[in-house]
Chains A and B, each alone.
Chain A
Amino acid sequence: MYNVSASSEVIRGHRRLLARRDQEPRVHRTVVLLGLTSLFTDISSEMVVAVLPLYLVFVGGFSPLAFGVIDGLYQGATALVRLASGYIGDRWHRHKDVAAAGYGLSALCKLALATAGTAVSAIGAIVLIDRIGKGIRTAPRDAMISLSTPPEQLGTAFGVHRALDTTGALLGPIAAFGLLALVPFGFGTIFIVSFCFAMIGVGILVLLVPRGRATAVKDPTPAPAPSVRGAFGLLRQRRFTAFVVAGGALSLATASDAFIFLALEERLDLGTTLFPLLFVGSAGTYMLLAVPIGRLADRVGRGRVLLGGYGLLLGVYLALLAPLEGIALAAAVLGLLGAYYAATDGVLMALGSAVVPDELRGSGLALLGTATSIARLLASIAFGALWTLTDIETAIACFVAALLVALALAAATLVRSREPLHVR
């Protein structure tokens, strides 16, 4: 329960932040409510993610190796679903319903976990359905955020959403381990409480978020329902394609944070108890910087901030190679990593939102999100292979080179795409 009060603290904090300067526009209520939905959903899912390996090993007697097999299902399961749900949301103007179905499906999975026992096949199936739920909700939710926000505030709006989302990701593990301290080995209780948090998220979305595009955006001229061809036709649109290419290229040079944490751990000799603190450090930075950097992006240009963000990632790589030690190394890497997330994750969606027509918003953001996540998956595989074949320094050095190339390519693409159209 302390989570509920803690999170409302956070909201009040954000409200204050947003209301402080009167000349600064406030983000739309829908954005804050969707942020809260994500916050509770993330508390719920991160609670489970934090304890699922322990659960399988403790109660099921499985080795983490068997868990790795399950975890492999996580990857890639969401790409196609995300595209479909983005399109369906566009086609029938039902972003909210599609998103609610995704959040609801994931919530039900938490209940299923509480009753499934420890059969690996059952847990594998539940985890898969949970990820499908995530795939379903992402694109329509981002479409709703962007459709309820005037174009000049998109960066701020996504920043507010991501800040709330990350708050949930930080609170989830705390809630899970707090519960484990209270009820030793009470995994069933964790799943039920996780289900309750997920339902609160669903409740906010279904009961409080306004339906459709009841917003102050433009005049709501009813557009014809888009076709699949129309959705993919986005890829012929030059500015949009530029973002997909730039985002994809940059993602191909992105080492997943799991690898960055492992590399950092090698240097710091932390031990497993302090390992989760690395996540807290970077996610905390992300949470704090998401709104200010989103606002900065609205002011100085989102493309610039996106490229700057990947410059920060370059800084992460270089810090890992630099002769830094201890606290200085941890602070540099985690601070840069958190700032990199704040400057890229929501900003890319804001960039995409500004060029995709309203009626194709879900499909467009889904295409963009899918392209970058597939690229990131490929990058993870490449990084893992490099690390196995050589050593961590070589792997990072290769990614430094790749990122420099990607930055140059992305900068060229973004600059060139600007010529025919001048959108802010």
Chain B
Amino acid sequence: MSARRRSQAFAAFILVCVAVAATAIGLAARDSVPTSGAPVVPAAARDVLVRAQADERSVLLFRSLDRRQPKTYGQVAVTSLDDPSKPRRLVPLRCDRVHFQAGRGVCIARGSSFAAGFKVKLFGERFRVQREFAVKGVPSRARVSPDGRYGSVTLFVGGHSYAVAGMFSTQTTLIDLERNMRIGDLESFSVSHRGRRVTARDRNFWGVTFAPDSDTFYATMATGDKTYLVRGSVSKRRAQTIHENIECPSLSPDGTRIGYKKRVGTGTKLWRLHVLDLATMRETQLAEERVIDDQVEWLDGGRLLYRVDEEVWAVAANGSGRPRRFAASGDSPGVVRARTPPNG
């Protein structure tokens, strides 16, 4: 090829590259899914939780991830616990993580643009947002205490491209849902390990779960290359380590066991789901063999729910049986339990 022909070929080649890039951007900009703003739904949809409570029905509240209906992707939905394959009711809220208990909910949602980051929205049983505040990082976990008094959100901050492999940090904030106020960052709590106060600067917390009394909470604390289960008190702003190698704890409804991710390997075999008996500290490995990166949710006293790809799966809490698909196209599962009178 002569120099001239080469230049012409190059010019043509550049044109093709630019055209492909421009087409890709144009198409994507046209089809981009709405990522924020309250979706429009029939007014009656707002009452779905209120009606369930009136009928003393427990329901599943989760993120709907139906790719066939991209406009609803990420929208919160409610469905029957007995038959989750029944049509879901979409509600007017879009979240990346969501959890709801006893009349109060926490939602981590995207802001209006990528640059706007994420917001935590506190909402009531009719999905009206009562308070929202901006947060830094990428949504990881959201939890509400069984009595709806406290909430907690975990976000990943750091873990960006310029950091060293494996180095990342999380920020876990406790929220007073009665007063719609932030209580503070777990890193400001005093934590002790074997009687000594933990002062390491690299400590990180994630994945809070609340006990039925709601003042007691459990969470993961990481320092160095170890993770610990901590138990603490919200009012005393204090916690202590009680077990090692536990991530994303989730307390059973009766408060006796903790479902969690245990680090068992490396690479693609990083975690296995386990259950810890708090009375005996005995660990039970569950039948789910895939790597699960989620904070599990107790379906009832004997089964756990969690996300696998874009589906909700369930497995027995005693290590028996086999995992099975619980609900299609969804994640962030939460069981909104029927409020029954105490001792009845």
Contacts and interface: CB of A to CB of B under 8 A. Distances in A.
Interface of A: 1, 4, 49-50, 52-54, 57-58, 61-69, 71-72, 74-75, 120-121, 124, 173, 177, 179-186, 188-189, 192-193, 196-197, 199-200, 203-204, 207-208, 256-259, 261-262, 271-273, 275-276, 278-279, 380, 384, 388
A41 to B, nearest CB: 13
Contact of A181 (B10, B18, B115, B268): B115
Contacts of A184: 32, 35, 110, 113-114
B159 A64 contact: yes
Interface string B10-28: 1001100110111011001
A71 B136 contact: no
A183 B32 contact: yes
B331 A68 contact: no
A4 B18 contact: yes
Contact of B6 (A74, A121, A200, A208): A208
Interface string B138-157: 10100000000000000011
A54 B25 contact: no
Given A63-B156, A192-B24, A196-B17, 7 more contacts: A57-B159, A184-B110, A203-B10, A204-B10, A272-B158, A275-B158, A278-B162
B138 A57 contact: yes
A207 B10 contact: yes
Nearest to A387: B202
Nearest to A198: B17
A74 B164 CA distance: 11
Nearest to A179: B25
B268 A182 contact: no
B266 interface: yes
A207 B8 CA distance: 10
A64 B171 CA distance: 13
A337 to B, nearest CB: 13
B164 A258 contact: yes
B29 to A, nearest CB: 5
Given A1-B22, A53-B159, A192-B21, A259 B166 contact: no
A262 B159 contact: no
Contacts of A180: 114-115
B311 to A, nearest CB: 12
Contact of A272 (B20, B114, B160, B167): B160
A58 B166 contact: no
28 contacts: A1-B21, A49-B161, A50-B161, A53-B160, A54-B138, A62-B293, A63-B168, A66-B293, A68-B159, A69-B165, A74-B165, A177-B115, A179-B25, A185-B32, A186-B29, A189-B28, A192-B21, A196-B17, A196-B24, A200-B13, A203-B17, A207-B6, A258-B163, A272-B137, A272-B157, A272-B158, A275-B158, A275-B160
B7, B17, B32: residue with the most chain A Cβ atoms closer than 10 Å:
B17
B20, B29, B165, B307: residue with the most chain A Cβ atoms closer than 10 Å:
B165
Interface string B84-122: 000000000000000000000000001001110000000
B222 to A, nearest CB: 9
Contact of B18 (A66, A186, A196, A259): A196
Interface of B: 6-7, 9-10, 13-14, 17-18, 20-22, 24-25, 28-29, 32-33, 35, 110, 113-115, 136-138, 140, 156-168, 202, 224, 266-268, 270, 293-294, 307, 331
A207 B35 CA distance: 43
B24 A63 contact: no
Contact of B13 (A177, A179, A203): A203
Contacts of B115: 177, 180-181
B32 A186 contact: yes
Contacts of A63: 140, 156, 168, 293
A271 B157 CA distance: 9
Given A62-B293, A63-B140, A388-B224, A189 B24 contact: yes
Contacts of B138: 54, 57-58
Contacts of A177: 114-115
A64 B28 contact: no
Given A69-B270, A261-B162, A182 B29 contact: yes
Contacts of B159: 53, 57, 64, 67-68
B33, B158, B161, B331: residue with the most chain A Cβ atoms closer than 10 Å:
B161
A66 B270 contact: yes
Which are the 10 A-B pairs with shortest beta-carbon distances? A64-B159, A68-B166, A64-B168, A196-B21, A189-B28, A71-B165, A192-B24, A183-B28, A207-B10, A180-B114
A53 B157 CA distance: 11
A186 B28 contact: yes
B29 A256 contact: no
A380 B163 CA distance: 12
A185 B118 CA distance: 13
Contact of B114 (A1, A61, A185, A197): A185
B230 to A, nearest CB: 18
A200 B14 contact: yes
B191 to A, nearest CB: 19
B172 to A, nearest CB: 14
B36 to A, nearest CB: 9
B136 A271 contact: yes
